[in-house]
Amino acid sequence: MTQVQYNEENIRSLDWKEHIRMRPGMYIGKLGDGSSPDDGIYILLKEVLDNSIDEFVMGSGKTIEISISDGKVAVRDYGRGIPLGKVVDVVSKMNTGGKYDTRAFKKSVGLNGVGCKAVNALSKTFSVFSVRDGMMKIAEFDKGVLVDDIKPSSTSKRKGTKVTFVPDEIIFKNYRYRHEYVSKMLKNYVYLNPGLSIVFNGEKFYSENGLSDLIKDNNNTEDFLYPIIHLKGNDIEVAITHSKTQYNEEYYSFVNGQHTTQGGTHQNAFRESIVKTIREFFGRQFDATDIRKSIIAAVSIKVMEPVFESQTKTKLGSTEMGEGMPTVRAYINEFIGKQLDNFLHKNGQHSELLQKKILQAEKERKELSGIRKLARERAKKASIHNKKLRDCRIHLDDIKKDRRLESTLFITEGDSASGSITKSRDVNTQAVFSLRGKPLNSYGMTKKIVYENEEFNLLQAALNIEESIENLRYNNIVIATDADVDGMHIRLLLITFFLQFFPELIKEGHLYILQTPLFRVRNKKETIYCYSDLEKIKAIDKLGKQTEITRFKGLGEISPDEFKYFIGDNIRLDPVMLDKNMTVEELLSFYMGKNTPVRQEFIINNLKIEMDKVE
């Protein structure tokens, strides 16, 4: 056995930009191509934008302008501007920034002086200009290396800062900013900062009613059991309602303006305080799940020097509000206990509707208890015999410890397709769930069908979402079906299932469609996989006439060796997103209801549009 040498020559020190580029996951989480809302390119935007938001919070600059075109991002604020003598240091020296001085930034999001440096290091080009007191300073970088340090000069430009960057394609392969994800991020910023205007590629985002607007814009107001309860305190804001039809809990939580998608101490305390307050108000020990069933709520708090569990700040770890202040748990419990109790006493109609909802949830839970027990036993038995699920090694507990760990569940049709994916997957991070035939059309059915239908029950068990989607075992749920009529139908039936019973999975960006190639075009030197007729035409033009063209009829026809290419680093995923102009009920009614003639006309018209694109 060859002995590996270990001496002084093996020890090396990386400078700040080398370390960021070598270990980007430590700074921005996963990389990705923009198909997921937590992909790195959105974290880059957020890190720059957070600095502009902090300026607004500190009372300087009411408008932020953002433009994204051909992968180039520009963020312009009208705050105080970076002190001109420190412009280069602030974006290129680790642990440098004004936010260490809590006198200037008492309740800021970015506290560790890393954010903008990470953007700089991970960008092909990065530039910053700052305007203060009629003077402007500009600095330009290439992959973190300073290439132009322009001396301050007089200017008539308004005060503030502008950062422009282009993510490095070597790190973010085939990336693309999706308008829907950027818009959602910006909306959250204005909900949390009433009075702030953000203009994105000419579109203005603004909110007057804070978290109440957030709840309304993300849900069908006609489905609300009662008007939104909107409560505000010095360092806390909450908005609460219950859905008439939704089954699970839905939360939007924030700390110092940061969307904590994984929750944390504040969200846990909020859920606990809701139960405690309602029990005390009605004088009954209602089951916590009955109280919180169908709840739609948002909570935002401000904490002195918050501690997050990662650089991407998706989960709050702080237990204290700040020096000399109560714990997060005590603060939220006291606020909800007093303010929600007062509201319910003053608004009898709200409390009456809420009590009826809780009693109905209690009744349904007891009616389903027997069915659930049998369903769990069936799911456990199926799992033991490994009939449906080929699991991966990374699970929820692992992901909670390290968010950089990604896990994916592929939902496939038939043995041949699941066999190909199973043989070519990454066993550490990718699991496969195999369907047997077409799923049931669940539109209009109650949650009872999930337990009675074997496919739905086993899928629910595999995802671990019966009690709450917070227990979701996989970050990504990918529908992998053939690109034919039957495959499209199965895809639609699965989306219907998630929309009907677990819409939060779609709202929170967990559901995707796997793109697989329709054609393989190759000659003796090169192979190109094509996902459309247009790509096929371009491939033929590139490779010339001496080409072999293969049409893939189904996933089962793609060999495991080739499949590794499609579900590895080159995976193409289309996120399933809700149309902001249609409610879930409207979507399901249109696509899965009995309006056949109208739907046929829609399909024909859109088919013509797609054919015109190819021609």
Which CATH number belongs to the domain containing residue 108 in this structure? 3.30.565.10
Give 155's contacts (C-beta < 8 A, 6+ positions apart). Answer: 131, 134, 135, 136
Query: Which pLDDT belongs to residue 597?
Result: 74
Alpha helices (H) along 80-178: 87-92, 115-121
The Cα 226–Cα 249 span in angstroms is: 16
Query: Which pLDDT belongs to residue 104?
Result: 44
- Is residue 561 domain-shared with residue 615, that is, in the same domain? no
Residue 11, domain member (yes or no):
no
Residue 376, domain member (yes or no):
no
Question: Mean per-residue pLDDT for 61-73?
Answer: 94
Q: In what helix (H) or strand (E) does residue 136 lie, and over which residues does it extend?
A: strand 135-142
Give 53's contacts (C-beta < 8 A, 6+ positions apart). Answer: 64, 109, 189, 193, 196, 257
- Is residue 339 domain-shared with residue 399, that is, in the same domain? no
Which of 180, 205, 230 is at the close of a domain?
Answer: 205
DSSP string, 282-335: HTS---HHHHHTTEEEEEEE--SS--BSSTT--SB---BSSTTS-BHHHHHHHH
3-state helix, strand, coil in the chain (%, to 5): 40, 20, 35
In contact, 493 and 246? CB cutoff 8 Å: no
Which of 205, 223, 248 is at the close of a domain?
Answer: 205
Joined together, the tokens standing for residue 232 give 């505000």
The Cα 278–Cα 295 span in angstroms is: 13
Which CATH number belongs to the domain containing residue 456 in this structure? 3.40.50.670
The Cα 108–Cα 67 span in angstroms is: 24
- Is residue 568 domain-shared with residue 546, that is, in the same domain? no
- Is residue 316 domain-shared with residue 339, that is, in the same domain? yes
Query: Which pLDDT belongs to residue 446?
Result: 80
The per-residue b/e assignment along 443-464, b for 16 or more CB within 10 angstroms, e otherwise, is bebebebbbebebbbbbbbbbb
Joined together, the tokens standing for residue 62 give 């009411």
Which of 364, 397, 414 is at the close of a domain?
Answer: 364
In contact, 214 and 252? CB cutoff 8 Å: yes
- Is residue 543 domain-shared with residue 563, that is, in the same domain? no
The Cα 74–Cα 45 span in angstroms is: 9
Three-state SS for 387? coil
**Does pLDDT of 384 surpass 70?**
no
Residues 559-598 have pLDDT tens digits of: 888 888 888 777 888 888 876 656 666 666 666 767 667 7
**Residue, of 139 and 487, whose pLDDT is higher:** 139
Apex 162 CA angle, 156 and 168, nearest 5: 145
Which CATH number belongs to the domain containing residue 230 in this structure? 3.30.230.10
pLDDT band at 397 (very low <50, low <70, confident <90, very high): low
Burial environment of residue 117 by CB neighbours within 10 A (0 to 12, 13 to 18, 19 or more): buried
Query: Which pLDDT belongs to residue 200?
Result: 96
Most confident of 146-150, 245-249, 449-453: 146-150
Query: Which pLDDT belongs to residue 599?
Result: 66
Q: What's the gap between Cα 40 and its chain centre?
A: 11
**Residue, of 461 and 124, whose pLDDT is higher:** 124
- Is residue 541 domain-shared with residue 610, that is, in the same domain? no
**Does pLDDT of 164 surpass 90?**
yes
Torsional sign, CA 361, 367, 368, 369? positive
In contact, 258 and 196? CB cutoff 8 Å: no
Residue 218, domain member (yes or no):
yes
In contact, 282 and 234? CB cutoff 8 Å: no
pLDDT band at 381 (very low <50, low <70, confident <90, very high): low
Side by side, the strands of the sheet bearing 236-242 are 229-232, 236-242, 295-301, 250-255, 258-259
- Is residue 391 domain-shared with residue 504, that is, in the same domain? yes
Residue 200, domain member (yes or no):
yes
Which amino acid is it at 398?
A: D
Among 271-285, 352-366, 464-478, where is mean pLDDT lowest? 464-478
Residue 24, domain member (yes or no):
yes
From residue 486, how far is each of 414, 502, 537, 557, 601 by CA, in Å?
A: 12, 23, 26, 16, 20
Side by side, the strands of the sheet bearing 197-200 are 145-154, 135-142, 123-132, 160-167, 72-77, 63-69, 197-200, 203-205
- Is residue 122 domain-shared with residue 177, that is, in the same domain? yes
Domain enclosing residue 558, as ranges = 386-516+552-578
Question: Mean per-residue pLDDT for 152-173?
Answer: 92
Write down the residue that tokens 């053939």 correspond to: 482
Query: Which pLDDT belongs to residue 24?
Result: 78
- Is residue 156 domain-shared with residue 122, that is, in the same domain? yes
**Count of CB atoms within 10 A of residue 3's CB?**
5
The Cα 114–Cα 187 span in angstroms is: 24
pLDDT band at 404 (very low <50, low <70, confident <90, very high): very low
DSSP string, 403-421: TT---EEEEEEHHHHHHHH
- Is residue 252 domain-shared with residue 333, that is, in the same domain? yes
Residue 263: φ, ψ to 5°: 75, -130
> Which long-range contacts (C-beta less than 8 Å, at least 24 apart) are formed by 534-538?
534/613, 534/614
- Is residue 43 domain-shared with residue 142, that is, in the same domain? yes
Radius of gyration in angstroms for the set of CA atoms belonging to the chain, rounded to a whole number: 26
**Does pLDDT of 423 surpass 80?**
yes
Residue 257, domain member (yes or no):
yes
Query: Which pLDDT belongs to residue 106?
Result: 55
Q: Which one-letter DSSP state was computed for residue 254?
A: E
- Number of domains observed in the structure of the chain: 5
% of the chain beyond a pLDDT of 70: 83
Residue 3, domain member (yes or no):
no
**Does pLDDT of 610 surpass 50?**
no
The Cα 399–Cα 474 span in angstroms is: 9
Residue 587: φ, ψ to 5°: -60, -50
- Is residue 282 domain-shared with residue 403, that is, in the same domain? no
Residue 216, domain member (yes or no):
yes
- The per-residue pLDDT of the chain, averaged, comes to 83
